Amino acid sequence: QRHEPAPNYQKPAVAKDDGEKRILEAIVAAREGEHYANVSEADGRLMRQLVEAVGARRVVELGTSTGESGLWFSLALRKTGGKLYTHDIDPGRLAVARANFKKAGVEDLIVVVEGDAHETAVKNTEPIDVLFIDAEKDGYDRYLKELLPLVRPGGLILAHNMHYPPPNPRYLEAVTTNPDLDTSFVLMDGPGLGITIKKR
Ligand SMILES: C[S@@+](CC[C@H](N)C(=O)[O-])C[C@H]1O[C@@H](n2cnc3c(N)ncnc32)[C@H](O)[C@@H]1O
């Protein structure tokens, strides 16, 4: 049976309190300012929902860019009592990200780490509740190999750009054939997001 294209019921996010309002305003301002390859609003909102739903205390992000995904995560982390550890190799983008976090009033929720995430992120030894992979596409499978042991059972691995730019086939293979993992691909009318649970 054929269906019409899916309707879009989405409306702009509605702030619950002043802190949330300040972050949402900072996201709008960030989009209008200097930015680079950031998540869409639809991606950011879903990621916030997931981080809040799993009650994440430690979110690790590979690929900060100018901090928009970090701002979406901070909406959740101010409620879960958690922190974002975000990694990027580009000092210029990180300077913009830091300014955006400050403007949103969330700099205390976010630890920014500069350098090659293959070297910096593996220094972490604490359990990860949510891992978000959004750095160089060619490295996705290596990031998974390096950090999956630290993702806690019941934790999530989110991977951006599962539709475009074209995803890394080795990553796709890894998250769809490992019996310890279960993966869905969502929001595939946009860049696409992989949601993988590490089974308990
Ligand atoms: C798609 S952007 C991240 C977008 C960001 N997550 C957002 O939605 O706001 C990818 C970022 O990965 C960074 N990157 C690329 N290779 C890297 C590496 N080896 N280590 C750390 N960061 C890297 C780039 O500098 C770039 O800022």
- Show me where the domains of the chain are located: 39-198
The DSSP line for the chain is ---PPPP--------SSHHHHHHHHHHHHHHHSS--SPPPHHHHHHHHHHHHHTT-SEEEEE--TTSHHHHHHHHHHHHHT-EEEEEES-HHHHHHHHHHHHHHT-GGGEEEEES-HHHHGGG--S-EEEEEE-S-GGGHHHHHHHHGGGEEEEEEEEEE-SSSSPPPHHHHHHHHH-TTEEEEEE-TTTT-EEEEEE--
> Which of 31, 100, 134 is the best mutation target for the ligand 1 pocket, counting ligand atoms within 8 Å of the beta carbon and taking the most?
134
% residues pLDDT > 70 (the chain): 100
**Residue 169 burial (CB count, 10 A):** 10
- In which band, very low, low, confident or very high, does the pLDDT at 5 lie, cut at 50, 70 and 90? confident
Paired tokens of 162: 């599962």
Q: What whole-number percentage of the chain has pLDDT above 90?
A: 94
- Considering only CA atoms, which residue is closest to atom 27 of ligand 1? 65
Indicate whether 6 pLDDT > 90: no
Across the strands, what pairs with 159?
133, 194
Query: Exposed, middle or buried by CB within 10 Å (0-12, 13-18, 19+), for 64?
Result: buried
Q: In angstroms, what is the span from residue 134 Cα to ligand 1's centroid?
A: 6
Pocket of ligand 1 from Cβ distances under 6 Å: 36-39, 63, 65, 67-69, 87-90, 93, 116-118, 134-136, 139
What per-residue confidence (pLDDT) applies to 20?
98
* CA–CA distance, 121 with 87 (Å, rounded to integer): 7
In the predicted structure, residue 130 carries a pLDDT above the cut 90: yes
**What integer is the mean pLDDT of 21-44?**
95
Q: What is the ipTM of this complex?
A: 0.99
* Mean pLDDT score, 26-42: 94
- The mean predicted confidence, pLDDT, of the chain is 97
pLDDT band at 1 (very low <50, low <70, confident <90, very high): confident
Tokens of 185: 């691909």
Domain 39-198 class in CATH: alpha beta
pLDDT computed for residue 147 by the predictor: 98
Beta bridge partners of 156: 130, 197
Per-residue pLDDT of 54-113, as tens digits, reads 999 999 999 999 999 999 999 999 999 999 999 999 999 999 999 999 999 999 999 999
Calpha distance 25→49 (Å, rounded) = 18
From CA 113, how far away is CA 6, in angstroms rounded? Answer: 40
